[in-house]
Amino acid sequence: AGSREGGGVNDHRKNAIKAIQRLKAKYPNLSVFTQDTTVTYENFVSIMRDTKVFISPYGLGEFSGKDYEAMLTGCLVVKPWAHKLWSYPNIYGSEYSLDVEL
């Protein structure tokens, strides 16, 4: 469990994509982009410039460089609580994040 091939990470991400697609079905006027294949970095940056909310599920751990890239392009980053993660700058600290119960 937890390996990419075994389904741990992939299942988690696939479930996140399915949840986002259900949200799109519920709100058809919502512009939603999900990608389960590789895109070029230039294409990624172009997409991110038009993105307002970036869903960042855990991958192989709590940290993702995509969190910083999303913030630098002006996105609100939504992810599971990562308060124990230390980073610089500490974007996961309480001064930059909100704890929201779902």
The confidence score (pLDDT) of residue 3 equals: 45
Distance CA 53, CA 56 (A): 10
Is 80 exceeded by the pLDDT of residue 74? yes
Mean pLDDT for the chain?
80
Instruction: Give 29-60 pLDDT, tens digit per residue.
Output: 888 887 767 889 999 889 899 899 888 887 77
Tokens for 83, please give them: 């308060």
The confidence score (pLDDT) of residue 58 equals: 77
Distance CA 56, CA 66 (A): 8
What ranges do the domains of the chain cover? Answer: 10-84
**Is residue 53 within 8 Å of residue 46, measured between CB atoms?**
no
The confidence score (pLDDT) of residue 65 equals: 84
